[in-house]
Structure 1
Amino acid sequence: MPSVEEFAFRRLTEAHLPLVGQWLAEPHVQRWWGEPADALSEIRGHLDDPLVEPYLVLIPARPIGYVQKYLIDGPDHPYGDQPAGAAGIDQFIGIPSLIGRGYGSKMVEAFALKLFEEGVERVVIDPHPESAQAIRAYEKAGFTVFDQRQTEDGPAQMMARDRC
């Protein structure tokens, strides 16, 4: 099992999209991210979006997943009630054999620490309430539940980790 320090995050490029597309077609990813072609199109759109930063997740040099940071940019954002300096994240591990082995919690913790180093004050994550495995992983990564909401993507168990 890699340590938190072994995770690396490389800005996503057009060249990474075929790999991300393969992962999106995996049943464990598709269940939460939806139709692979639609999800890939949305991720492609983030390549030039100033409010979203998409990354390839590596340990130490092997690509294993995807993570994106999005700015919670004021009161018009669905999570605009969060404190100033908050950012949201979405992610998945693409390799099925790594699911349920602790990689998710380490990946999320490593990315949260990276964001804290960049000055983010709070990291928000919004798993589906039925995604018990993800919720447990986020709790292991230091996130706590603060609300349950209905979002444009369905119900969300709102969780956050604050910078210490």
Structure 2
Amino acid sequence: MAGPYGFRPVVSGDLALLRRWLEVPEVRRWWGDPDEQAALLEADLDNPHMVMEIVTLGGRPFAYVQHYDVHTWPHRHFARLPAGSRAIDALIGEPGMLGAGHGLAFLRGLAERLCADGAPAVAIDPHPDNLRARRAYEKAGFSGDLVVDTEEGPAVVMTFARASDAG
């Protein structure tokens, strides 16, 4: 269930848009240095293991999401997840779209799609202080409060529970 949200692959022509989004204060706060992050995104553009998508609403781009097999990029905090599990990283790049429920809605739709496509689990790992994101992820169906240390700093491991699994 994607709702009114569209997902399309990132192409090289999107790099300037992504770079602009990385400069947004709320994004920069959690993603870090825009130059470093833009270089990482550009490097991953041709990586077949990283799915990079622009999220749209009414055809208008407003967010970025990437997902990957948790065991392709082995992070210790995802090691317990079963084979085929996916991890998600996301940002809303258009400031006017923040705080309106879009993040929780498109992430729920994406997590449901990944599960329908066979992922046994879907995980996300926000910074413990990113309370806005954590609340949105909880409303989207993710749960968990285990704080772990990662190479990027502390994170909270949250996993998606499908409606059929929760009841």
Segments ≥4 residues shifted beyond 4 Å: none
- CA deviation string 1:115-158 (max 9, x = no partner): 12221111100000000110000000000015211001100011
Q: Structure 1 unaligned segments of length 5 or more: list them.
A: none
2:111, 2:122 within 8 Å by CA — same for their partners in 1? yes
Residue aligned with 1:64, SS? strand
Tell whether 2:103 aligns with 1:104: yes
1:109, 1:142 within 8 Å by CA — same for their partners in 2? yes
Aligned length: 162
Partner of residue 12 from structure 1, selected from 10, 13, 17: 10
Q: 2:160 — aligned with what? A: 161
1:121, 1:162 within 8 Å by CA — same for their partners in 2? no
1:75, 1:81 within 8 Å by CA — same for their partners in 2? no
Residue aligned with 1:150, SS? strand
Residue aligned with 1:159, SS? strand
Alpha-carbon distance change, 8 to 129 in structure 1, aligned in 2, over 3 angstroms: same
Give how far 1:107 is off. 1.6
Question: How far apart, in 2, do the equivalents of 1:102 and 1:75 lie?
Answer: 29
Alpha-carbon distance change, 43 to 76 in structure 1, aligned in 2, over 3 angstroms: closer
- TM-score between the two structures when normalised by the length of structure 1: 0.92
Give how far 1:67 is off. 0.1
Q: 1:82 — aligned with what? A: 81
Q: 2:27 — aligned with what? A: 29
1:128, 1:155 within 8 Å by CA — same for their partners in 2? yes
Q: 2:133 — aligned with what? A: 134
Question: How far apart, in 1, do the equivalents of 2:109 and 2:9 lie?
Answer: 15
Q: 1:54 — aligned with what? A: 52
Question: How far apart, in 2, do the equivalents of 1:22 and 1:114 lie?
Answer: 28
Q: Structure 2 unaligned segments of length 5 or more: list them.
A: none
